[in-house]
Amino acid sequence: MTVSARIVVQPQEPAPLQIIELDLPAPGPHQVVVKQYASGVCHSQLHQMHNPRQNPIVLGHESTGEVLSVGSEVSHVAPGDTVMVTWVPRDAANTDRAPSPAAISLPDGSVARSQNVFTWADTTIADEQYVVKVDANIKRDVTSIIGCAVMTGAGAVENTAKVQAGESVVIFGVGGVGLSAVVAAKELGADPIIAVDLDDEKLAFATKFGATHTINAKNEDAIKTIKSLTTNPAKRSFMGNPIAGADYAFDCIGLKQTMEQIVPAVKNGFFGAEPGGTAVLVGVPQTPVELNASDILVNEKKFIGSIGGSCVPDRDFPKYLNWYENGKLNLDVMVTERFSIDQINEATKALENGEISGRAILEF
């Protein structure tokens, strides 16, 4: 049985996003058709929109919805279930089958492809590994950003870095992902929690989520200020200077400048007596990066990546929903803009222009 859908499509050639009406096919053996309630509008989709393409593409990778139909091999969800669609396999360690990315035949005969899923649509079809069953009583709009923004930011702090109580954290970029990192750092008892951005309004916004200090890198030397906030005169580095710098620095942007700042932002180590800090790349990089290898070697620092917050959606989504229900993760405040599917070009333009202080969503 086919289902009618309205889907946002990025043409192969540079052009505004289009909304195309078509019929989705019946689900294959491992597929699920989902009627959607809301979807996040993520900055990483801007990269897809601007990068060269070999075909039209469909976009979006975090949403909430209701299952309409399932394939013959799908057993974890059934029609009527409330679900989240995400771009990270829900339990990759316990499946021997690689999930298949969605591809949609368009009315003109071309095929629009996704990186894995598409959620800028009122109805979507996805591999069952990208569909996570959740409680039917969840709030259906703001929770849609858990499938990327929240898991990526919070997961980087909790799963990738494994931040402990009392450790210092600095977060570069406090959009939706960075704010989620702030929330997780607060939940884990990090101190201080330093937010770095170029926008005073975004920095003030970050304090509502747990940032203890803010730095506008446009107005001051971010590294110098971070070190002044984290100096420990009781401990000495390789060169005999007081140790200064955060235990962990998270780049939630992925620009060349921020990628190169997170290593000097973390503390120096000292011959096994004092471990060096860890710089964590969370944002999607679009350029090469130059790192100071001597700084990493001599001061025993680490530069690591975190993709999707190292999350296991089946395990982590219920936890983040619980954070929301208990007031630890204020998604109602984090979601600052709402758009209809017909406003998708307006939404992406606002995001690109830095006009979204928290996270934007599409509501269907």
Which residues on adjacent β-strands are paired with residue 18? 9
**Residue 244 pLDDT:** 87
Work out the pLDDT band at 143, boundaries 50, 70, 90.
very high
Question: Which pLDDT value is given to residue 233?
Answer: 73
Mean residue pLDDT across the chain = 95
- Let me know if 246 is exposed, middle or buried by CB neighbors in 10 A (0-12, 13-18, 19+): buried
pLDDT tens for residues 222-266? 999 999 999 887 676 666 677 889 999 999 999 999 999 999 999
294 and 233 in one domain?
A: yes
Lookup: tokens for 46: 């801007």
Q: Per-residue pLDDT for 271 more than 80?
A: no
pLDDT at 274: 80
pLDDT in tens, 93-123: 998 899 999 999 999 999 999 999 999 999 9
Of all residues in the chain, the percent with pLDDT exceeding 70 is 98
Whether residues 18 and 62 fall in one domain: yes
Within a domain: residue 313?
Answer: no
Q: Measured between alpha carbons, how far is 291 from 3 in angstroms, rounded to an integer?
A: 50
pLDDT at residue 237 in the model: 67
Contact 254, 42 (CB under 8 A): no
Within this chain, do residues 199 and 210 fall inside the same structural domain, yes or no? yes
Query: What would the pLDDT profile of 161-212 be if each residue is shown by its tens digit?
Result: 999 999 999 999 999 999 999 999 999 999 999 999 999 999 999 999 999 9
Query: What residues are paired with 246 via a beta bridge?
Result: 266
Q: Would you say residue 323 lies in a domain?
A: no
Closest by CA to 45, choosing from 154, 170, 156, 176, is: 176
Is 316 among the domain residues?
no
In a domain, 314, yes or no: no
Residues 216 and 201 in one domain: yes
Question: Within this chain, do residues 11 and 22 fall inside the same structural domain, yes or no?
Answer: yes
Same domain, yes or no: 11 and 50: yes
> Could you tell me if 193 and 286 lie in one domain?
yes
Identify whether 321 is part of a domain: no
159 and 121 together in one domain: no
Domain for residue 246, yes or no?
Answer: yes
> What is the CATH classification number for the domain harbouring 27?
3.90.180.10
Residue 347, CA atoms < 13 Å, CB-side half-sphere: 26
In a domain, residue 141? The reply is yes
pTM: 0.94
Among residues 98, 105, 231, 258, the alpha carbon closest in space to that of 173 is found at 258
The Cα–Cα gap between 54 and 64 comes to 29
Residue 338 maps to a domain = yes
Domain containing residue 248: CATH number: 3.40.50.720
DSSP 119: -
Exposed e or buried b per residue across 296-329, where buried means at least 16 C-beta atoms within 10 angstroms of its C-beta: bebbbbbbeebebbbbbbbebbbebbebbeeeeb
Domains identified in the chain, total number: 2
Q: What pLDDT does 348 receive?
A: 96
- 18 plus 136 within the same structural domain: yes
Residue 298 φ then ψ, to 5°: -65, -40
Please indicate, yes or no, whether residues 129 and 154 belong to a single structural domain of this protein. no
Count of CB atoms within 10 A of residue 107's CB?
Answer: 9
Residue 357, pLDDT score:
87
Residues 287 and 334 in one domain: no
> Of 7, 272, 5, which Cα lies nearest the Cα of 118?
7
pLDDT at 134: 97
- DSSP per position, 182-216: HHHHHHTT-SSEEEEES-HHHHHHHHTTT-SEEEE
Residue range(s) defining the domain that contains residue 162: 150-308
Cβ atoms 102, 114 nearer than 8 A? yes
pLDDT (0 to 100) of residue 247: 97
Contacts for 212 with CB less than 8 Å, ≥ 6 apart:
191, 192, 193, 194
Mark whether 94 and 203 lie in a shared domain.
Answer: no
